[in-house]
């Protein structure tokens, strides 16, 4: 099953009209793969929240807690393409990340990472293997921190829900905002878990093709980096039930099954 459907063509059909605004919406990147704190990035994120609300998706008007803001910052790297693309495509990805466009419209493009690595000139295949290893290792190291923040957010959500029956001054609007924030937090984690599986599938696709295109000993550390990422990705599994992505309107692509594949590099 692939993510998205006929609706994913809409942003591309509107490209001539949206291009100036889309190019302006390219997010400014900060440190550790997080969005930079700026007025423009904040405006784009606010626009995304309003758009999601109009589509009927959970989008609370309540202020973010420190951990909720940190959760969104740490999800940044995984909701953007692993390999930088053309400015227009990066802008679409950023608008999808902030939910100005629905997350489900974007098709899963497993070969994109491999195509991006070999598209430009490079002096040695070693650099391509090294880039793959570095990207996979960096992702793996960030997942543990994300999972820790997600656990704290879910604990706070449980406290929030327990407080609802005890707070007599809350009206229906307050109750709805609280429920939407809880759903919003869970859907963000489900989305990040889904994208992590897609990213791992893209890395494995790249390694398999590298072994055919330019075989070398550098494939061994690359395989080890993928195993490290796969192990760290499992930290996300206990956070939510397997069907969480479907409940949030995200299709679980069959490509994520590649994470269960045997090692690419055979040991003799």
pLDDT in tens, 172-231: 888 888 888 888 899 889 989 998 999 999 999 999 999 999 999 999 999 999 999 999
pLDDT higher than 90, residue 149: yes
- The residue to which tokens 């950023």 are assigned: 94
26, 45, 66, 68 from 72: Cα distances, Å: 17, 11, 10, 6
pLDDT at 240: 93
Tell whether the torsion through CA atoms of 142, 144, 147 and 149 is positive or negative. negative
Band of the pLDDT at 79, cuts 50, 70, 90? confident
Band of the pLDDT at 245, cuts 50, 70, 90? confident
| Better pLDDT: 172 or 53 | 172
DSSP state of 26: P
Average predicted confidence (pLDDT) for the chain: 75
**Token reading at 66:** 């420190």
Tell me which range, 49-58, 96-105, 111-120, 227-236, is most confidently predicted by mean pLDDT: 227-236
- Asked if residues 198 and 168 have their Cβ atoms less than 8 Å apart, the reply is no
0.75 exceeded by pTM:
no
| Better pLDDT: 23 or 168 | 168
The domain limits of the chain are 64-85+109-260
**Average pLDDT of the residues in 113-131:** 88
pLDDT higher than 80, residue 23: no
Band of the pLDDT at 119, cuts 50, 70, 90? confident
> Which percentage of the chain shows pLDDT scores above 70?
62
Kindly state the helix (H) or strand (E) to which residue 192 belongs, with its residue range: helix 172-213
- The residue to which tokens 């740490």 are assigned: 74
Low-confidence winner among 16-20, 71-75, 244-248 (lowest mean pLDDT): 16-20
Band of the pLDDT at 4, cuts 50, 70, 90? very low
pLDDT higher than 90, residue 56: no
Band of the pLDDT at 42, cuts 50, 70, 90? very low
| Better pLDDT: 142 or 180 | 142
Burial environment of residue 24 by CB neighbours within 10 A (0 to 12, 13 to 18, 19 or more):
exposed
pLDDT at 131: 94
Tell whether the torsion through CA atoms of 191, 108, 128 and 224 is positive or negative. positive
């Amino acid at each position: 099953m692939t993510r998205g459907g006929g609706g994913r063509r809409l942003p591309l059909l509107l490209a001539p009209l949206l291009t100036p605004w889309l190019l302006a919406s390219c997010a400014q990147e900060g440190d550790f793969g997080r969005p930079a704190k700026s007025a423009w990035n904040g405006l784009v994120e606010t626009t995304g929240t309003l758009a999601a609300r109009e589509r009927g998706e959970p989008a609370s008007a309540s202020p973010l807690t420190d951990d909720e803001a940190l959760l969104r910052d740490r999800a940044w790297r995984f909701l953007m393409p692993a390999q930088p693309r053309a400015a227009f495509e990066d802008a679409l990805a950023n608008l999808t990340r902030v939910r100005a466009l629905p997350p489900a419209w974007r098709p899963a493009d497993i070969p994109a990472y491999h195509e991006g690595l070999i598209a430009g000139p490079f002096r040695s295949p070693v650099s391509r293997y090294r880039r793959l290893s570095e990207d996979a290792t960096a992702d793996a190291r960030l997942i543990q921190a994300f999972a820790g923040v997600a656990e704290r957010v879910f604990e706070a959500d449980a406290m929030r829900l327990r407080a609802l029956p005890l707070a007599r001054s809350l009206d229906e609007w307050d109750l709805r905002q609280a429920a939407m924030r809880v759903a919003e937090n869970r859907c963000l984690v489900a989305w990040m878990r889904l994208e992590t599986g897609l990213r791992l599938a893209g890395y494995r696709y790249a390694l398999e093709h590298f072994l055919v295109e330019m075989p070398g000993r550098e494939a061994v550390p690359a395989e080890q980096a993928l195993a490290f990422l796969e192990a760290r990705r499992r930290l996300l599994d206990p956070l939510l039930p397997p069907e969480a992505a479907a409940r949030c309107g995200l299709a679980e692509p069959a490509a994520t099954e590649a994470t269960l594949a045997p090692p690419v590099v055979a040991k003799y």
